[in-house]
């Protein structure tokens, strides 16, 4: 028998670190065995004296960043690897700062192709790279319970595994319903999850082979043993300070042309993002790269099994993809990590470079850094001996918010001789809403009304709570300023994944909740101004039912389309234009002057109607009267005016009244920028806006049905009631506009 024929599974390298490695192999008969490691002229022997088929011999006492030749012998030397063969070697892990390269591939099993040709080609190409080690992403065999398939797998992998350590994860085919032999050949990775370090780079393997079904979901929940272990490992100082953190597992967490796992998206994705993972490898039958929330996801499952090209997920975009048999080469330096996806012909399918995240230490951008970046700091001074009271304000640019900053807080400051240090967070800014949710969690009060003031240990949400609670908090502060500050909560000092807060808020929404919120927001006092303006507009220009229908329909459509457009595309840019203080003040002033004039005209008409039976608008000069009548006739028959004027008015009013939207609207538009949630967010946005304009539609229908009553012909009493109603409507709308200007 030839020396190598005594091996069923030839030697392969496992569990390498800076000072040790494990050499595994399987013999055809039970024999003791030995591994000899050569370091120049020096020889180190490591024996396994127990006679057995399968051996795992640990080699120790090695130096970091070195390459050692080894030889395996058994049966008193009758079975052995080739003498002096330099291909049998152990490459130990380097020290932090060393450069190295490794390889990655998955699904090397033959699958439906029934051929091992692609597997051979991938292994041959990777072996030529001389990687320090390689990550094997699972599904090594078709039927994990069949030993001959494992033996065939190792025979193909031998040229690579004898000189490059393998770090595997189990696939569903390897598990084979619990009957697979993964543990027979990889006992050191038996539990399925582990961490190793190479030159300061941190690698994590997780056991997720059946997260879409088949695997016990208890293994994949946040409180599972492996995920709690993962969370603890991520918090270690050496992990947090590492230049890069890499996760590899079998099931994709995120993928566009394949089967992503909803379970992993819910339970694992937040940990990946919070733990500042740079790169995630998983296996599916293609190559794909995507980027989500600061994490790069690479799918590499083209090492042998059939290629699968599923329809692209419209809600999740990839940056690169290829339907090809391939492997990945990753070159790592302290300053960069470059990945190349290479097919079996040597063509580079994709290439990209990652650099260490800021400092290499942050668990994502800290809330304190985000708060510092997006806040607007406003200082309201007081007397020379005044104490300084800090508080945070989250709001839209709403009328009461402006009064709060310009009037209420200065008045409180003057009354109590307290200087106010206000940190203002505009919720139209990116990250402001998740930051608001994070603050609410730490204060123990989620869902506070807007505007919301965080002060001391209390949250004052909405105008009513601020009016009643602000003075009480200032008085408590003055009793013991130092003690008050010490007891105060500063949520931004605590590390937390604020993006996950926004995701949780969105996932808590339901269709009925969205519809209910849209109706409430459409009926609140702020939005009621839009209804009043609609009625005022229709009664002013409604010379007939046809004109009323045209005007009202286009007005409502303008309101709906503006809200949809702001939410879908221009939430930050268009909203900032529509709510620009200078533009808003100018439009409000013009509307106020017009409404006051119309109100005075209606009041004068009321007095004239009381004195005479002849209804009239005003005693204009004859030329003026003819001009007004001509304008009304032109409006009634000119499509551009009939459609354009009310539509434009609806757009303007929607922009002005955008602050009517509440807390359900904000998580919807926030998630529109997230590919995974975009389709659902669009559906919610449509439902919300449709229900939001429902009160407008109801009022519009009532006005249309009563057009003839509003504009009677020759009935003095009804005309008097109509004019009086006009005066009340115009006066009410003038009050609303004055409120928007902060005058009342």
Q: What is the predicted pLDDT for the residue at 712?
A: 43
Question: pLDDT tens, 166-177?
Answer: 999 999 999 999
DSSP 252: -
pLDDT exceeds 80 at position 163: yes
Q: Which two tokens stand for residue 43?
A: 């020889």
Beta bridge partners of 71: 36
pLDDT exceeds 80 at position 12: yes
Q: Who wins on pLDDT, 361 or 732?
A: 732
d(CA 89, CA 84): 11
Q: Which two tokens stand for residue 582?
A: 């200078």
pLDDT exceeds 70 at position 279: yes
Q: Which two tokens stand for residue 718?
A: 């009804």
Confidence of residue 44 (pLDDT cuts 50, 70, 90): very high
Alpha-helical runs (H) found in 193-324: 225-234, 237-240, 262-267, 269-274
Instruction: Please provide the distance, in angstroms rounded to a whole number, between the alpha carbons at the two ends of the chain.
Output: 101
CATH class of 374-500: alpha beta
Cα–Cα nearest to 295, from 315, 280, 311, 312: 280
Q: What is the predicted pLDDT for the residue at 530?
A: 60
d(CA 45, CA 56): 14
Q: What is the predicted pLDDT for the residue at 628?
A: 47
Q: What is the predicted pLDDT for the residue at 622?
A: 44
Confidence of residue 79 (pLDDT cuts 50, 70, 90): very high
Question: Is there a contact between 595 and 730 (Cβ–Cβ < 8 Å)?
Answer: yes
Confidence of residue 575 (pLDDT cuts 50, 70, 90): very low
Q: Which two tokens stand for residue 405?
A: 């900053």
Q: What is the predicted pLDDT for the residue at 407?
A: 85
Q: Who wins on pLDDT, 499 or 291?
A: 291
Question: pLDDT tens, 83-101?
Answer: 999 999 999 999 998 999 9
Angle formed at CA 376 by CA 373 and CA 381, multiple of 5 degrees: 135
Distances (CA, A) of 537 to 28, 482, 544: 93, 56, 13
Q: Who wins on pLDDT, 170 or 378?
A: 170
d(CA 84, CA 71): 8
Instruction: Determine the average pLDDT of the residues in 52-79.
Output: 95
pLDDT exceeds 80 at position 533: no
Confidence of residue 728 (pLDDT cuts 50, 70, 90): low
Question: Is there a contact between 248 and 170 (Cβ–Cβ < 8 Å)?
Answer: no
Q: What is the predicted pLDDT for the residue at 711?
A: 44
Q: What is the predicted pLDDT for the residue at 198?
A: 97
Long-range contacts, 617-626 (Cβ 8 Å, 24+)? none
pLDDT exceeds 70 at position 120: yes
Confidence of residue 248 (pLDDT cuts 50, 70, 90): very high
Q: Who wins on pLDDT, 444 or 207?
A: 207
Statement: 93-360 belongs to CATH 3.40.50.1220 = no
Q: Who wins on pLDDT, 279 or 519?
A: 279
Confidence of residue 646 (pLDDT cuts 50, 70, 90): low
pLDDT exceeds 60 at position 345: yes
Confidence of residue 579 (pLDDT cuts 50, 70, 90): very low
Confidence of residue 709 (pLDDT cuts 50, 70, 90): very low
Cα–Cα nearest to 525, from 464, 468, 467: 464
Q: What is the predicted pLDDT for the residue at 637?
A: 53
pLDDT exceeds 70 at position 197: yes
Distances (CA, A) of 646 to 104, 559, 734: 61, 10, 19
Give the burial string for 392-421 (b: 16+ CB within 10 Å, else e). Answer: bbbbbbbbbbbbbbeebbeebbeebebebe
- Max mean pLDDT among 262-271, 567-576, 584-593 falls in 262-271
pLDDT exceeds 70 at position 54: yes
Q: What is the predicted pLDDT for the residue at 402?
A: 78
Q: What is the predicted pLDDT for the residue at 436?
A: 82
Q: What is the predicted pLDDT for the residue at 630?
A: 55
- In percent, how much of the chain has pLDDT > 70? 70
- SS3 assignment for 500-565: HHHHHHHHCCCHHHHHHHHHHHHHCHHHHHHHHHHHHHHHHHCCCHHHHHHHHHHHHHHHHHHHHH
d(CA 395, CA 435): 12
pLDDT exceeds 70 at position 487: yes
Distances (CA, A) of 271 to 235, 399, 568: 11, 40, 29
Least confident interval from 38-47, 327-336, 485-494, 538-547: 538-547
pLDDT exceeds 80 at position 411: yes
Question: pLDDT tens, 181-195?
Answer: 999 999 999 999 999
Q: Who wins on pLDDT, 265 or 494?
A: 265
Domain 93-360 and domain 374-500, same fold? Reply is no
Prediction pTM value? 0.56
Distances (CA, A) of 653 to 195, 398, 533: 58, 14, 9
Instruction: Determine the average pLDDT of the residues in 202-229.
Output: 93
Q: How far is CA 84 from the centre of its chain?
A: 55
Largest CA distance in the chain: 128
Instruction: State the chain's mean pLDDT as an integer.
Output: 81
pLDDT exceeds 80 at position 546: no
pLDDT exceeds 60 at position 62: yes
Q: How far is CA 712 from the centre of its chain?
A: 57
Give the burial string for 618-644 (b: 16+ CB within 10 Å, else e). Answer: eeeeeeeeeeeeeeeeebbeeeebbbe
Question: pLDDT tens, 280-309?
Answer: 999 999 999 999 988 999 999 999 999 999
Alpha-helical runs (H) found in 308-452: 367-374, 399-403, 409-416, 432-443
Q: Who wins on pLDDT, 734 or 353?
A: 353
Q: So where are the chain's domains? A: 93-360, 374-500, 511-740
Instruction: Determine the average pLDDT of the residues in 469-490.
Output: 88
Confidence of residue 516 (pLDDT cuts 50, 70, 90): confident
Beta bridge partners of 289: 298, 320
Going by C-beta distance under 8 Å and a sequence separation of 6 or more, which residues neighbour residue 123? 108, 156, 157, 159, 160
DSSP 79: E
Q: Which residue has tokens 């389309």?
A: 561
DSSP 304: S
Confidence of residue 567 (pLDDT cuts 50, 70, 90): low
Instruction: Determine the average pLDDT of the residues in 622-645.
Output: 50
Question: Is there a contact between 423 and 393 (Cβ–Cβ < 8 Å)?
Answer: yes
Instruction: Determine the average pLDDT of the residues in 359-370.
Output: 52
pLDDT exceeds 90 at position 586: no
Instruction: Determine the average pLDDT of the residues in 678-689.
Output: 79
pLDDT exceeds 70 at position 465: yes
């Amino acid at each position: 028998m030839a020396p190598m024929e005594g091996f069923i599974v030839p030697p392969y390298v496992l569990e390498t670190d800076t000072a040790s490695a494990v050499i595994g192999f399987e013999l055809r008969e039970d024999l003791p065995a030995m591994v000899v490691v050569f370091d120049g002229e020096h020889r180190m022997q490591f024996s396994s004296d127990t006679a057995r088929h399968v051996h795992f011999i640990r080699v120790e006492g090695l130096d970091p960043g070195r390459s050692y030749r080894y030889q395996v012998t058994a049966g008193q030397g009758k079975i052995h690897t080739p003498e002096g063969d330099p291909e049998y070697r152990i490459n130990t892990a380097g020290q932090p700062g060393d450069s190295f390269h490794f390889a990655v591939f998955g699904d090397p099993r033959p699958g439906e192709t029934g051929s091992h040709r692609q597997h051979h080609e991938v292994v041959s190409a990777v072996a030529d790279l001389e990687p320090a080690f390689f990550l094997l992403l699972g599904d090594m065999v078709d039927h994990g319970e069949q030993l001959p398939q494992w033996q065939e797998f190792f025979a193909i992998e031998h040229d690579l595994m004898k000189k490059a350590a393998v770090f595997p994860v189990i696939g569903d085919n390897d598990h084979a319903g619990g009957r697979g032999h993964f543990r027979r050949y990889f006992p050191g990775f038996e539990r399925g999850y582990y961490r190793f370090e190479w030159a300061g780079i941190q690698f994590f393997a997780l056991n997720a082979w059946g997260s879409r079904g088949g695997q016990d979901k208890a293994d994949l929940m946040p409180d599972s043993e492996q995920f709690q272990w993962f969370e603890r490992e991520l918090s270690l100082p050496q992990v947090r300070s590492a230049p890069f953190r890499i996760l590899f597992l079998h099931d994709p967490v995120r993928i566009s042309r394949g089967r992503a796992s909803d379970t992993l998206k819910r339970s694992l994705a937040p940990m990946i993002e919070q733990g500042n993972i740079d790169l995630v490898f998983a296996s599916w039958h293609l190559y794909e790269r995507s980027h989500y929330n600061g994490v790069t996801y690479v799918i590499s499952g083209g090492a042998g099994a059939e290629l699968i090209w599923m329809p692209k997920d419209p809600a999740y975009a990839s940056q690169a993809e290829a339907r090809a048999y391939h492997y990945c080469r990753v070159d790592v330096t302290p300053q960069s990590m470059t990945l190349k996806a290479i097919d079996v012909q040597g063509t580079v399918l994709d290439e990209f470079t990652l650099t260490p995240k800021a400092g290499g230490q942050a668990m994502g951008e800290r809330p304190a850094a985000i708060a510092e970046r997006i806040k607007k700091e406003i200082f309201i001074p007081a007397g020379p001996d005044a104490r300084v009271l800090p508080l945070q304000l989250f709001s839209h640019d709403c009328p009461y918010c402006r009064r709060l900053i310009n009037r209420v807080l200065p008045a409180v400051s003057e009354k109590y001789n307290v200087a106010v240090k206000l940190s203002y967070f505009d919720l139209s800014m990116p990250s402001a809403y998740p930051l608001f949710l994070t603050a609410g969690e730490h204060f123990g009060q989620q869902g506070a009304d807007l505007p919301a003031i965080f002060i001391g240990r209390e949250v004052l949400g909405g105008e009513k709570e601020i009016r009643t609670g602000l003075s009480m908090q200032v008085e408590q502060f003055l009793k013991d300023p130092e003690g008050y500050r010490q007891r105060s909560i500063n949520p931004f000092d605590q590390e937390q994944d604020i993006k996950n807060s926004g995701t949780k808020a969105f996932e808590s929404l339901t269709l009925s909740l969205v519809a209910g919120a849209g109706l409430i927001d459409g009926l609140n006092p702020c939005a009621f101004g839009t209804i009043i303006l609609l009625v005022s507009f229709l009664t002013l220009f409604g010379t007939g039912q046809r004109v009323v229908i045209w005007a009202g329909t286009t007005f409502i459509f303008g309101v709906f389309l503006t809200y949809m457009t702001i939410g879908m595309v221009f939430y930050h840019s268009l909203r900032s234009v529509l709510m620009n203080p200078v533009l808003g003040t100018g439009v409000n002033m013009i509307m106020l002057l017009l409404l006051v004039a119309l109100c005075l005209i209606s009041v004068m008409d009321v007095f004239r109607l009381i004195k005479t039976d002849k209804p009239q608008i005003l005693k204009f000069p004859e030329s003026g009267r003819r001009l007004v009548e001509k304008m009304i006739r032109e409006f009634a028959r000119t499509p551009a005016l009939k459609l354009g004027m009310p539509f434009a008015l609806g757009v303007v009013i929607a922009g002005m009244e955008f602050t009517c939207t509440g807390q359900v609207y904000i998580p919807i538009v926030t998630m529109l920028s997230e590919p995974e949630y975009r389709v659902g967010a669009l559906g919610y946005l449509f439902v919300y806006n449709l229900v939001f304009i429902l009160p407008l539609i109801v009022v519009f229908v009532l006005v249309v049905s009563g057009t003839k009553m509003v504009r009677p012909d020759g009935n003095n009493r009804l005309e008097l009631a109509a004019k009086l109603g006009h005066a009340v409507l115009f006066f009410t709308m003038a009050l609303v506009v004055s409120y928007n200007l902060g005058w009342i």
